[in-house]
Amino acid sequence: MIGGPGDEERRLGRLVRAHNRWRGREVFNLLASENALSPTALRYLGSDLAGRYTLPIPTTANGERRTNDYGGTRYTDQIESLANAAAARIFHGRFATTRPLSGHIAAISALAPLLPRHSKILAVPPADGGYDGYAPGFLPAMLDYVVRPLPAVPQTHELLAEPAVEEIRRERPNAVVLGQSFFLFPYPLRPIAEAAHEQGALVFYDASHVLGLVAGGVFQDPIREGADVLYGSTHKSFPGPQGGLLVTDREDLFSQLDPALVWRVFDNAHWHRIASLAQTLLELERVGPEYARTVVENSQALGTALSARGLPLVGAERGFTRSHQLHLLVPELLAQWGVGPATLGRRWERQGMITDLVGRIGTAEVTRLGLRPTDMDRLADLMVRAGKDRASVRSEVRSWRREFPTQRFI
Ligand SMILES: Cc1ncc(COP(=O)(O)O)c(C=O)c1O
């Protein structure tokens, strides 16, 4: 029967509106894996592009097209070229694709075409802050790789040059996959890349967490420091739509990578996402340095303010962080506050401050709202009252949040 929306549709509408109101207007989002899109980037996600196909199939590294089975693509193809060119410029490689649908898919897009089955890779294990996807049962199992641990420093999860170089020389891998989910400090990338290249190994840099910082010229400059391929998510410290991208300066690699993607890793690449990503890239070309600098300043100021109020954090002796992340020092937290990260995260959420439940605090999204280092004392005070004293601070959080109705850095 044709009629108006049914009960489930109305319920769905209420759920979406409630989510948007709650997450978009009433809370401070301190999830290290998330960010807020600019109004223009968000609008492009809801544009006509959302339902369209185009499938230009690249045959050469300079983007020459072989076929496109679809009509109606005169604008989509230009949007893609614009996105790829912006990604290449910003991340300092000559070749880029914005087609990967997520950071995980970007990893598959980079690794599968360049590393045959039975390749040996070195990656930081999840216990040392590495991405779960590189653990033996996941991507390596799917792609039939052997993965060996690249050892990181306990607690801070840093990579030090000497042990990393030693491990590379001992293991003689086909590739070193850098990048972590718990990521506070940049890598000594040059000596690591040199050692890898001496062994004939490729260096992949998974910038999923730090992509927005790299775009703004802080943290590090992976391709110029020796990474062969940089890839990652476009929605963590990088304030774009959910998705991924991949950049390299090596034509020999890109000419193997790009043509291998369509029909192996994906078919349609979601052109509304690519338009939205292009917008974010262009915005960051203008405001990225100030945005990235402020994110790091906010993390360091929040670390200092939380630590001064007794919250145990990793890396106090090193200024806590050089990224958008802070990490809870879990054993001390359990001993001193009697809670673990999950309980603490739930307490914060009930009071309007959202974090993950595994001990990371992120400052990227509150920075985009306009919070400055001078605001971090007040934020820390609310977090400690809510997390340690179990005080009700929700209405104070909500009214403070209302002071930030728009975004900066757009
Ligand atoms: C280092 C790293 N790589 C890849 C991914 C996967 O990214 P996505 O969720 O965009 O697929 C994550 C996700 O948290 C990550 O931390």
DSSP class per residue in 36-73: ---HHHHHHHTSGGGG------B-STT--B-----SS-
Q: Which two tokens stand for residue 357?
A: 């439940």
State how far Cα 303 lies from the chain centre: 20
- 40-281 and 286-401, same CATH topology: no
State the distance from the centre of ligand 1 to the C-alpha of 35, rounded, in angstroms: 14
Answer whether 28's CB lies under 8 Å from 396's CB. Answer: no
* Model pLDDT, residue 3: 87
Give the C-alpha separation, 178 to 94, whole Å: 21
Domain range summary for the chain, segments of one domain joined by +: 40-281, 286-401
* Model pLDDT, residue 263: 87
The answer, yes or no, to whether any atom of ligand 1 lies below 6 A from the CB of 205, is no
Q: What is the pTM of this model?
A: 0.97
Comparing CA positions, the residue from 388, 75, 404, 114 lying closest to residue 258 is: 114
Query: b or e along 334-364 (b: 16 or more beta carbons within 10 Å of the residue's beta carbon)?
Result: eeebebbbeebbebbeebbbbbbeebbbbbb
Extended beta strands in 164-228, E state: 175-178, 202-206
Give the CA diameter of the chain.
70
State the distance from the centre of ligand 1 to the C-alpha of 377, rounded, in angstroms: 30
Listed in sequence order, the residues at least 6 apart from 158 whose beta carbon sits closer than 8 Å to its beta carbon are 152, 184, 185
The answer, yes or no, to whether any atom of ligand 1 lies below 6 A from the CB of 131, is yes
Give the C-alpha separation, 333 to 219, whole Å: 28
The answer, yes or no, to whether any atom of ligand 1 lies below 6 A from the CB of 34, is no
Give the C-alpha separation, 313 to 169, whole Å: 34
Integer CA distances (angstroms), 205 to 216, 232, 257, in order: 17, 8, 15
The count of C-alpha atoms lying within 13 angstroms of the C-alpha of 372, restricted to the half-sphere facing its C-beta, is: 3
Q: By alpha-carbon position, which residue is closest to atom 3 of ligand 1?
A: 208
Q: How many CB atoms lie within 10 A of CB 391?
A: 14
State the distance from the centre of ligand 1 to the C-alpha of 104, rounded, in angstroms: 5
- List per-residue pLDDT tens for the chain, 410 residues long: 678 999 999 999 999 999 999 999 999 999 999 999 999 999 999 999 999 998 877 665 555 666 788 899 989 999 999 999 999 999 999 999 999 999 999 999 999 999 999 999 999 999 999 999 999 999 999 999 999 999 999 999 999 999 999 999 999 999 999 999 999 999 999 999 999 999 999 999 999 999 999 999 999 999 999 999 999 999 999 999 999 999 999 999 999 998 889 888 999 999 999 999 999 999 999 999 999 999 999 999 999 999 999 999 999 999 999 999 999 999 999 999 999 999 999 999 999 999 999 999 999 999 999 999 999 999 999 999 999 999 999 999 999 999 999 999 99
Integer CA distances (angstroms), 251 to 61, 95, 192, 247, 256, in order: 6, 7, 22, 11, 9
Instruction: Give the right CATH number for 286-401 from 3.40.50.300, 3.40.50.620, 3.40.50.10490, 3.90.1150.10.
Output: 3.90.1150.10
Angle at CA 185, nearest 5°, toward 127 and 99? 80
The answer, yes or no, to whether any atom of ligand 1 lies below 6 A from the CB of 321, is no
The answer, yes or no, to whether any atom of ligand 1 lies below 6 A from the CB of 233, is yes
Give the C-alpha separation, 346 to 357, whole Å: 8
The answer, yes or no, to whether any atom of ligand 1 lies below 6 A from the CB of 360, is no
State the distance from the centre of ligand 1 to the C-alpha of 204, rounded, in angstroms: 14
Give the C-alpha separation, 367 to 384, whole Å: 20
Q: By alpha-carbon position, which residue is closest to atom 8 of ligand 1?
A: 103
Q: Which CATH architecture has domain 40-281?
A: 3-Layer(aba) Sandwich (3.40)
The answer, yes or no, to whether any atom of ligand 1 lies below 6 A from the CB of 103, is yes
* Model pLDDT, residue 391: 98
Query: b or e along 274-290 (b: 16 or more beta carbons within 10 Å of the residue's beta carbon)?
Result: bbbbbbbbbbbeeebee
Q: Which of 138, 181, 187, 324 to mutate to test the pocket of ligand 1 (most atoms within 8 A of CB)?
A: 181
Helices (H), strands (E): how many in the chain? 15, 11
The answer, yes or no, to whether any atom of ligand 1 lies below 6 A from the CB of 206, is yes
State the distance from the centre of ligand 1 to the C-alpha of 399, rounded, in angstroms: 33
Q: Which of 131, 150, 157, 356 to mutate to test the pocket of ligand 1 (most atoms within 8 A of CB)?
A: 131
Answer whether 314's CB lies under 8 Å from 320's CB. Answer: yes
Answer whether 20's CB lies under 8 Å from 27's CB. Answer: no
